[in-house]
């Protein structure tokens, strides 16, 4: 089977899925004759339930797992039996504590307001093509580091700094995946000779050990300073502080340091990579399914209090926990692209699985979670479709799926302790981005799973044109003033997208009024405004002079300046407007998908001497996203 490994090393998950379809969800894989490598791959829910629940005690991680994941030491991922039970019990007590939950909520809020929003604003302003996968990894790395150690490494910032700890984790994950793919004799030979992935793993290991040791040392110094100042030591909020209390009872400092090192590394791996992977695939699926994006946005609008309108806002954790469709969409994304694409087990005693396959202690058993989400026998004929509706019950609530069918958070006694932490992070981040921004994937960007123990995107997720749905100025207004400003979308349609449902708006957007004197077509594409009517209106579209002072517009050759006697007293759907006072509606019709809009708008407002009266807004380029 060695040629099979080599030939499909660039697409392992897809090839395993193909074999699952052919063999009926379970098959035996044999390595070269000299390796004694036997692996049972399965995506059969009956087998999974038997191994993870019914006969759990006979299927630990095993010594083979410990060899492959040796970099994780004796942490909760590698441990079995009594050691695992002890670690899980203490970790569960800390993670489910109300004090930690409050710290989680505060941490997410801080990273959104001080990390996500400034970076996205920067991207909007500069017109940068950004890798969303890297963006989410930076967010989850910072958030996880704060939750685990109490320190913010500042990875998510407009400078996009390189973080050696994060890069070392990436290298380690790739090397561990290769250990799964090759016979033990081969990767051990590479390790001895310092070749290939094993050489990278050695360097990564050194980096991870050094950085974790620095975190532990710094935390100890803080504790010593508190004791010297005779301040009473409080119960730790971050997990490192809490675990240090447990480490104090150990026989030696070296034992305590190893315990803390292994614990931190395991928690960092769990928190950083799985959540960022889930968010990356989720937003890619949304870009491929814009109707789902729209439906989530409508659901979020429905939970906003009426007195707030539909303005720019960030959502609280208690708010996003109420929305069923967003939760369903996240589950559907995790079904198709589980962050951990496979699980590894080894039987202690010979056994017979429900599928009839015999297993023994010399075999490895792999669950392919990636394949499970693509089996027609489990999810039906439409299993490859992204359909959040499959998770919604007739009552509109989220359907429960047994963990042996949906293993994104593991199953049985080893169910992920951080499940609610992950969902909380993903929901808040997804809601804040979906409600406030519109994004586009770079055309032609290749998307495929990477060969890693975490289901990253091989080429990242390149995204272009982050468009603000609401103005930067508006979100800074106090609540009493914010209610006087209404931001309305304009039905924007590119020239090649056909006519708009509204003939008038269609005239504005597809340019069927012919050309201006300058020869320019009278449509919005490539332009900023028609003109400015001082103290009254800015109109969107093309213009002749390029500074808003021209006479031509799509409404006709001449459009006289002046104040209208009849004024709107409320927003008009598919219209435009910016309220400058009580019962005074002055239009701000923005028709541009250009990233340089904000700067151009400010320039034109200065020319008209009305810059103090207008709020700068941009709107999404997709007409289906208009409110």
The set of residues, in sequence order, having a beta carbon less than 8 Å from that of 343 and lying 6+ positions away, is 366, 367, 369, 407, 410
Cα–Cα distance list, 92 to 279, 415, 420 (Å): 24, 11, 12
Are the C-beta atoms of residues 577 and 568 closer than 8 Å to each other? Answer: yes
The partner residues of 556 in beta bridges, in order of sequence, read 553
Cα 317–320–323 angle (5° rounding)?
155
Q: Is 298 exposed, middle or buried (0-12, 13-18, 19+ CB in 10 A)?
A: exposed
Which is it for strands 38-42 and 364-368: parallel, antiparallel or unpaired?
A: parallel
Cα–Cα distance list, 580 to 486, 558, 563 (Å): 9, 26, 14
What span, in angstroms and rounded, lies between the C-alpha atoms of 365 and 346?
A: 6
Q: In what order do the strands lie in the sheet with 462-468?
A: 130-131, 462-468, 437-441
Are the C-beta atoms of residues 418 and 270 closer than 8 Å to each other? Answer: yes
Stretch (H or E) spanning 46: helix 45-49
Judged by DSSP in three states, 486 sits in coil
Structure tokens at 454: 């975490």
What span, in angstroms and rounded, lies between the C-alpha atoms of 576 and 597?
A: 16
The partner residues of 365 in beta bridges, in order of sequence, read 40, 345
Task: Tell how many helices (H) and how many strands (E) occur in the chain.
Answer: 23, 13
Structure tokens at 480: 């009493």
Task: Round to the nearest angstrom and report the end-to-end CA distance of the chain.
Answer: 56
The partner residues of 441 in beta bridges, in order of sequence, read 463
What span, in angstroms and rounded, lies between the C-alpha atoms of 409 and 355?
A: 23
What span, in angstroms and rounded, lies between the C-alpha atoms of 137 and 279?
A: 9
What b/e sequence results for 207-217 when a residue is b if at least 16 CB atoms lie within 10 Å of its CB, and e otherwise?
bbeebbeebbe
What span, in angstroms and rounded, lies between the C-alpha atoms of 286 and 398?
A: 19
The set of residues, in sequence order, having a beta carbon less than 8 Å from that of 416 and lying 6+ positions away, is 270, 409, 410, 422
Judged by DSSP in three states, 506 sits in helix
The set of residues, in sequence order, having a beta carbon less than 8 Å from that of 300 and lying 6+ positions away, is 315, 323, 326, 431, 434, 435
Are the C-beta atoms of residues 292 and 286 closer than 8 Å to each other? Answer: yes
Task: Tell whether 416 is in a known binding site.
Answer: yes
What span, in angstroms and rounded, lies between the C-alpha atoms of 241 and 234?
A: 10
* Residue with tokens 């941490």, as numbered in its chain: 107
Are the C-beta atoms of residues 549 and 531 closer than 8 Å to each other? Answer: yes
What span, in angstroms and rounded, lies between the C-alpha atoms of 257 and 516?
A: 75
> What residue numbers does the annotated binding site for heme cover?
416
Which residues are known binding-site members?
Answer: 416
């Amino acid at each position: 089977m060695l040629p099979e490994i080599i030939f499909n090393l660039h697409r392992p998950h897809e090839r395993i899925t193909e074999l699952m379809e052919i063999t009926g969800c379970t098959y035996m894989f044999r390595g070269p004759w000299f390796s004694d490598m036997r692996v049972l791959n399965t995506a059969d829910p009956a087998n999974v339930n038997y191994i993870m629940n019914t006969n759990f005690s006979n299927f630990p991680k095993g010594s083979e797992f410990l060899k492959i994941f040796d970099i994780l030491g004796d942490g909760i991922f590698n441990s079995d039996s009594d050691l695992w039970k002890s670690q899980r019990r203490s970790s569960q007590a800390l993670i489910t504590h109300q004090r930690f939950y409050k710290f989680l909520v505060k941490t997410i809020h801080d990273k959104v307001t001080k990390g996500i929003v400034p970076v996205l604003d920067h991207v909007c302003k500069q017109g940068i093509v950004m890798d969303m996968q890297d963006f989410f990894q930076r967010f989850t790395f910072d958030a996880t580091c704060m939750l685990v150690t109490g320190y913010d490494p500042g990875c998510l910032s407009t400078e996009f700094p390189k973080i050696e700890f994060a890069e070392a984790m990436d290298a380690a994950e790739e090397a561990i995946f290769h250990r799964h793919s090759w016979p033990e004799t081969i990767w051990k030979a590479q390790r001895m000779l310092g070749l290939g992935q094993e050489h990278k793993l050695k360097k990564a290991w050194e980096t991870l050990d050094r950085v974790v040791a620095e975190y532990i040392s710094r935390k100890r110094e803080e504790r010593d300073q508190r004791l010297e100042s005779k301040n009473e030591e409080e119960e730790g909020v971050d997990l490192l502080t809490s675990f240090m209390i447990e480490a104090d009872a150990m026989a030696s400092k070296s034992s305590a340091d190893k315990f803390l090192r292994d614990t931190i590394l395991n928690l960092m791996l769990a928190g950083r990579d799985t959540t960022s992977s889930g968010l990356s695939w989720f937003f890619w699926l949304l870009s491929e399914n814009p109707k789902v994006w729209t439906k989530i946005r409508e659901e979020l609008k429905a939970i906003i209090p009426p007195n707030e309108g539909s303005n720019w806002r960030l959502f609280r954790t208690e708010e996003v926990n109420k929305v069923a469709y967003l939760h369903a969409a996240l589950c559907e994304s995790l079904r198709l692209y589980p962050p951990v694409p496979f699980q590894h087990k080894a039987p202690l005693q010979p056994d017979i699985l429900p599928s009839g396959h015999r297993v023994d202690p010399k075999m490895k058993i792999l669950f392919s979670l990636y394949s499970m989400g693509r089996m027609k026998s489990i999810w039906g004929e439409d299993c490859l479709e992204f359909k959040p509706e499959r998770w919604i019950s007739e009552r509109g609530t989220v359907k429960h799926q047994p963990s042996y069918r949906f293993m994104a958070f593991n199953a049985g006694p080893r169910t992920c302790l951080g499940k609610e932490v992950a969902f909380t992070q993903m929901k808040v981040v997804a809601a804040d981005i979906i409600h406030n921004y519109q994004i586009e994937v770079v055309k032609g960007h290749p998307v495929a799973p990477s060969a890693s123990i975490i289901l990253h995107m091989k080429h990242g997720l390149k995204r272009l044109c982050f468009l603000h749905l609401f103005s930067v100025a508006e979100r800074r207004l106090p609540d009493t003033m914010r209610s006087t400003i209404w931001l309305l979308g304009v039905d924007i349609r590119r020239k090649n997208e056909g006519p708009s449902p509204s003939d008038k708006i269609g005239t504005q957007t597809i340019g069927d009024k012919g050309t201006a004197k300058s020869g320019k077509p009278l449509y919005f594409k490539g332009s900023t405004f028609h003109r400015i009517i001082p103290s009254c209106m800015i109109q969107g579209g093309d213009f002749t002079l390029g500074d808003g002072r021209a006479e031509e517009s799509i409404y006709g050759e001449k459009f006289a300046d002046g104040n209208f006697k009849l004024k709107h007293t409320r927003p008009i759907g598919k219209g435009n407007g910016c309220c400058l006072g009580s019962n005074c509606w002055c239009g701000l019709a923005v028709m541009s998908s250009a990233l340089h809009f904000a700067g151009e708008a400010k320039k034109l407002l200065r020319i008209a001497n009305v810059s103090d009266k207008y709020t700068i807004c941009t709107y999404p380029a997709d007409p289906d996203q208009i409110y």
